[in-house]
Amino acid sequence: MIYAYVSPLLIVALVFISTVFVIDWLAKLLIYIFLLNLVCLPGYLLYKDEVKESKLEPPPSPQEGNQYVPKNTDSQ
Domain boundaries, given as residue ranges, for the chain: 2-55
Question: For residue range 15-30, what is the model confidence (pLDDT) as tens digits?
Answer: 888 887 788 888 888 8
Answer yes or no: is pLDDT of 55 > 80: yes
pTM beyond cutoff 0.85: no
Distance CA 7, CA 45 (A): 13
- Alpha helices (runs of H) in the chain, residue ranges in sequence order: 2-20, 24-56
pLDDT in tens, 58-72: 666 656 555 555 666
What residues have CB less than 8 Å from 7, skipping those under 6 apart?
A: 37, 41
**Distance (Å, whole) CA 46 – CA 69:** 32
